[in-house]
Structures are given as structure tokens and as C-alpha cells.
Chains A and B, each alone.
Chain A
């Protein structure tokens, strides 16, 4: 079974440009999460999808970030326009949906974004 995949693995852009990150969750996983790790600090939650609906977007830093999950399959995270402080590693994770209890989140390898 394929794991969570993310594309691209690395992206280098200039300040003011737009970048779109993609995440393909494990097939059948309704939950999809985006996290970010900036400059060796802690990994921070960005948002959570259940299928195509945003369940929790309390971690989104500002309106330059737009996440979508059309059709409830893969997800994209767009940063427009990118700023220097957006540099970091963006992780995607997915989990099964089950009532009650905590389901293991499976993480992708991350996309390393560098904004110059």
C-alpha cells in the first residue's frame, strides 16, 4: 500500500511568487492534515480536512495560505504571495476516520520550501 506522498520534495522561489504544494493521502483516509516546521522549531498544525470539508483551520497563519481538497482525495496548499518567513518544511498526514478514539496519522516526507 502506498504511503502519503508529497510533491515537490523541494521548492525554491523568490519572495512574492506563488507556490502550490500537493499531498496525496493514503487511499481511503478521510482525514488529511497539514503541518509546518519552520527553521528547526516545533512542527505546527495548519489545518485538518475531513473528506473535502475543512474541519479545523485554526493553525493557518494568514490569508496568503489557501488549502483545498476537491473531491476529498488529494490536497493542495497554495502560498500567494510567498514571504521569507514561509520557508520551512510542510508535512502532510492522513488517517482513517473512525468514531471515537485517536487514529494514527501517517506522515509524508514533507516539502522543503525555501523563499529567497
Chain B
């Protein structure tokens, strides 16, 4: 069964520092890949998605992620963290052959941004 691993339940960075949130998936066939963000008391919001086009995907709020098939990874980065980036981030996949397009999530990474 497909699975998603997010390394680090909590990541802490200083404001202005690089943000790197890690995500690895288990499928041998590249699935659709997503990063979602959840701010307090809000629903999940799509940051970006990979659907077999460009391997470097740009999303909202300055985030981007690179799909690396050889590493089965889809790490999320942002060059310079802002206080407003503090939230919980979820990596998710959806199998190409799944007509339901249901999402399989990682366990989430909470990003803390220090002033």
C-alpha cells in the first residue's frame, strides 16, 4: 500500500532562514504529489502539486518542491522563512490508478519560525 513519510514532526527555523520539509513516498510508480498547509483553526490549503509535468513545482507564498524519482522524494523548500509561515504542513500522494483520487497523507510537520 502507498505510504508517505515526513521526517520530523517539528521543524524550527529562524526568520529569514531556509525552510526544508522532507517528504518521501513509497510507490514505484510516481503518483500525484501534493503539499498542503494548515493554519490554526483553518482547513487544509493546497500549496503546490506535482502531476508529471515539470519536476520543480512552484507554489503559493514562495514555496517550491522538487520531485526526485530516484529518491522517491518531494521535499518542500522556501529560501527565506517568514513568521507567517508558522503552520502545519502535510505531504500527500494520490495514486494514478485510483479513480477516487483519494489523498494519502504523511503525519505532518509543524513549522516553527523564531524571530
**Residues of A at under 8 Å CB distance from B?**
3-4, 31, 33, 35, 40-45, 48, 55-56, 59, 91, 93, 95, 101-110
**Contact A104 B46, beta carbon cutoff 8 Å:** yes
Number of interface residues of B (CB under 8 A): 24
**Contact B102 A41, beta carbon cutoff 8 Å:** no
**Contact A102 B32, beta carbon cutoff 8 Å:** yes
Q: How far is the CA of A97 from the CA of B104 in the complex (A)?
A: 19
Interface-facing stretch out of B22-30, B61-69, B77-85, B93-101: B93-101
Q: How far is the CA of A105 from the CA of B102 in the complex (A)?
A: 9
Q: How far is the CA of A106 from the CA of B4 in the complex (A)?
A: 20
Tell me the minimal C-beta distance from B49 to chain A in angstroms: 7
Contacts of A105 in B (CB 8 A): 46, 101, 103
